[in-house]
Structure 1
Amino acid sequence: MSLMDSLFTHRPLSETRPSTCSSFFLTIQLTLLFLILTTVQASHCRTSCGNIPINYPFGIDDGCGSPYYRHILVCSESGNLELRTPSGKYPVLSISYSDPHVLVTDPFMWNCQDGDNFRPTRPFSLDTSTHFSLSPQNEYLFFNCSEDDVIIQPKPIFCEHFPERCDSSCDSASYLCRHLPKCPSALGGGSCCSYYPKATESLRLMLKYCASFTSVYWKNIGEPQPYDQVAEYGIRVDFDIPVTTRCLLCQDTLKGGGTCGFDTHTQSFLCLCEKRNATTYCKDHGLSGHGGRVGVIAGTVSAVSAAGALGVGAGVWYLRKVRAKAPVTCGVQSNENRLF
C-alpha cells in the first residue's frame, strides 16, 4: 500500500492510534519526501534565456545568483529577457560579463521609423540599491525642444562664452544630431540637440520642454582607433559583480563546481549543488548540507515535485492529527540614479 493510500484509508478508531515507533517512521518518511522536493527545486538554475546567457551575479530563478539582483531579470515563456526597473520592464538586447553591462531598449523612445512623428515617451529609472548605474557611454538626444525654456546652442561656442553654464546647454551641433545612426536624414525639419543630464531634475525639465528623446550608446567593435566604436540605439546599464571568496570556492570545479546562490528566506549565501545545497562548497563533506530551509526556487516545480508537495501537505495534516491523539515519545529605491 502506498503512503498516500495509507493516509486516507479509514480504519476503526482503535487502529488509528499509532505506536511511538510508527509515528517516528512516518516523520522520517515525510522528512525525506520534503528533502527530495526541495532538492528538485533548488538544484535548477537556468543558464540562459533565449540566446542570452545568464551567469552570476544574475539569476532568472529565485535563489540563483546574487541577492543584489533578485527579481531584476524576467524570462518570458517565449524566451524573451526583460530588465525590471521601478519604471517598468525593458527588453534586454545583450549582457556582457567581461565588460559588465546590460543593453536594453525602450520601445517608447524615438526611432528612425518615427521621423517627425514624435510619440510621448515614458520615464526610465534605475534603483541604485541593485548596484546598477547608467553608463557614461550613453548619449541622449532630445527633439523639438522649446528654445524659451532650454538652452539650445552649439556647445563649443556656448562653452567658450559661458563656461560657468556649459553643462546646462543642449548641443545643437553634436555629431549624433548631424549623423543619426542608421537614418541621418530621418528628422526632416525637426530640431535635435545632445544633452547628458547631471541631475534628476534637469532630466525631468528636458522631457517637460522637449517633444521626445532617444538614447544612443557607443558600441565597441574591436577595430583600431578611432574606428573602434559605432553608435547604436539603446540604453547601456553598467552593473557590479560582487565577488566573494565563498562564491569563488563554490564555483571551483575542483571543489564540486557549484552555482552561487542564496537562501530566499534569509538571503544568506548558498552553494547550489547537484544533490544538495552547502554553505561552503559542494565537496565539503565535513559540513552538513543545507537541509530543509533551503531557498525554494520559484517556477521550477515539475509535475513530480508538485505531487510530492501534495504528499507532504497530506502527511503534515495527518501527523498533526495523530499527535493530537497520541504524542510521539520516541527519541534581501534609492533615487540617486533615477533617469526621468
Structure 2
Amino acid sequence: MAFFFFLLCITSIVNRAHSQSAVCRTYCGDIPIHYPLSIDDGCGSAYYRNMLLCTNSSILHFRTPSGSYPVSYIDYTDPHLVITDPSMWSCADPSDTTFAATPFSLDTSKRFSLSTRNEYLFFNCDKDSVLIEPKPAYCDRFPDRCGSSCDSSGYLCRNLPGCPNSLIENNISCCTYYPKASESLRLMLKHCESYTGVYWKTIGTTVPPYDQVPEYGIRVDFEIPVTTRCLECEDKRKGGGVCGFDTESRDFVCLCQDGNATTFCSDAESKHRTSSTVIAGTVVFSVAGAVGIGALVWFVKKIKSNKVVSCGVQTNENRYF
C-alpha cells in the first residue's frame, strides 16, 4: 500500500512535467500575446519578465509598483497597451469623486513609458494648493510656469467621453494636467478628490490630428527589442521557433517544439535541453526520472527500517510534504 502511494506521488510529478511543457501561450482571452511580451516565464524578452499576468486564461493584468491593472488592449504595430484603473472616476457613477487607492505608476527600470497621448483630469482640487488656471491665457502671461498649472479650460473637461454634461450636473470642478512623473500624480491627488485617465486613440479614418478620439484608460508605450538572433529564431525557414530566455541566466534561447536552441530550431548543433533551469515553464523529464529513482531507493530502505507507515507519515524523518 505504501509503495502504491509512493508511485502515485511520482506519477503526479511526471504528469506535472508534461503539463508544463506546452509552448508559450499566445492569447489571454481575446488579447494576443506576442514578442516581446509574455505571460509565461522564459517566453518573450527578459526585459518584460513577469509584467503581465493572465488569470483564468481570460483576464490580462499589468503589474506595476502601485498594483495590478486590467489590460483592455495591446497593439504591436504601434507598440502600446491600454490599462484601466478601477479606482478612477467614471461615467458609471459620476457623482462619486472618492479616491482611496494608490494612483497608477510605472516601474522606471522597465522599458515601459507613459504615452504623451494621455491626459489626466483632476476633480474638485483644492485651489489653495493646486494652481488652477485657463492654460492659454496663463501661459501667455507666465510662460516659465506654464507646465505647472492645471488647465481649467481643457477640452476634455468640457467634452467628457460618454457623459459630457455630468460634471456640470454634479457640480464637479475639473482641470487637466499631464504629470511628468508618477510622483507628480501622487502629489496632485493629495489635493484633489479624484482623477481619471483619457488617451487619444487613433482610428485612422481621417487625416491627422482628426484621426484620434478620446477614450478612457491609460496608454503605456513599450519598445520591441529587435535582434538578429530573435529574427533567425522566428524564421519559418529555420524552424519557426519562439524567442525566449533562460530563466536563470536571462540569456537568449530559441524555444522549439522538440527542445531549445541557442540560435534557431533547425540548427542541430545548438539544440539543447536545459536540465538545471526551467525555460518557458518546461520541466525536464530526465531530471524528474533521476530524482524519482533516487527517491525510490531511499523509500525502499526506509520501509525496511520503519515497517509501520500511517497515511504516508511515520515520523518527521519519513515525511514527504
TM-score, structure 1 normalization: 0.78
Match of 2:293 among 306, 315, 336: 315
Q: CA deviation at 1:173?
A: 0.6
Larger Rg: 1
1:112 is paired with a residue whose SS is coil
Q: Deviations over 1:96-120 (max 9, x none)?
A: 0000001000110000122122121
Partner SS, residue 268 of structure 2: coil
Instruction: Find 1:117's aligned residue among 55, 74, 96.
Output: 96
Partner of 1:269: 252
**Residues 208 and 66 (structure 1 numbering): CA distance in 2 closer, same or farther, change over 3 Å?**
same
Counterpart in the other structure of 2:268: 285
Select between 200-209 and 118-127 the one with higher mean Cα deviation.
Answer: 200-209
For the Cα contact (< 8 Å) 2:80–2:219, is it kept in 1?
yes
**Amino acid corresponding to residue 291 of structure 2 in structure 1:** G
What secondary structure does 2:244 align onto? strand
CA contact (8 A) 1:59 1:70 kept: yes
SS in 1 for 2:229: helix
Summarize deviations over 1:301-320 as a string: whole Å, max 9, x none.
7xxx99x8865432133578
Aligned 1:83-94 pairs, distance under 5 A: 83-94=62-73
The alpha-carbon distance between structure 1 residues 296 and 315, as it changes in their structure 2 partners (threshold 3 A), is farther
Q: 1:284 to 1:258 in 2, by over 3 A?
A: same
CA RMSD after TM alignment: 2.8
Do the aligned residues in 1 keep the contact of 2:122 with 2:177 (CA within 8 Å)?
A: yes
Q: 251-260 or 223-232: which moved more?
A: 223-232
Letter in 2 for 1:313: V
Correspondence for 2:241 among 234, 245, 258 = 258
SS at match of 2:269: coil
Q: Distance in 2 between matches of 1:242 and 1:196?
A: 28
Q: Could you tell me whether the CA contact under 8 Å between 2:260 and 2:271 is conserved in 1?
A: no
Look up the equivalent residue of 2:126 and give its one-letter code. Answer: S
Greater than 6 Å deviation, 4+ residue runs: 34-40, 319-322
**Structure 1 counterpart SS, 2:196:** strand
* CA distances 1:22-44 after superposition (whole Å, capped 9, x unpaired): xxxxxxxxxxxx99987864552
> More relative contact order in 1 or in 2 (CA 8 Å, sep 6+)?
1
After superposition, the Cα gap between the structure-2 partners of 1:320 and 1:278, relative to the gap in structure 1 and judged at 3 Å, is farther
Query: Which residue does 2:231 correspond to in 1?
Result: 248
Q: 1:151 aligns with which of 131, 141, 158?
A: 131
Cα distance in structure 1, aligned partners of 2:16 and 2:277: 11
The residue aligned with 1:98 is 77
How far the C-alpha of 1:250 sits from its partner, in A, is: 0.3
Q: CA deviation at 1:268?
A: 0.8
For each residue in 1:56-76, what CA deviation from the matched residue of structure 2 results, as whole angstroms up to 9, or x when unmatched? 001111111111111111111
What is the distance in 1 between the residues matched to 2:276 and 2:295? Answer: 20
Q: What secondary structure, in the 3-state scheme, does the structure 1 residue paired with 2:157 have?
A: helix
TM-score (norm 2): 0.82
Partner SS for 1:254: helix
Q: Which runs of 5+ in 2 are unaligned?
A: 8-12, 301-321
Asked if the contact 1:279/1:290 (under 8 Å) is kept, the reply is no
1:186-201 to structure 2, matched below 5 A, reads 186-187=166-167, 188=169, 189-201=171-183
User: Are 1:129 and 2:109 counterparts?
Assistant: yes
List runs of 5+ in structure 1 lacking aligned partners.
Answer: 9-33, 323-340
Quick check: 1:68–1:129 contact (8 Å CA) kept in 2?
Answer: no
The alpha-carbon deviation at position 164 of structure 1 amounts to: 1.2
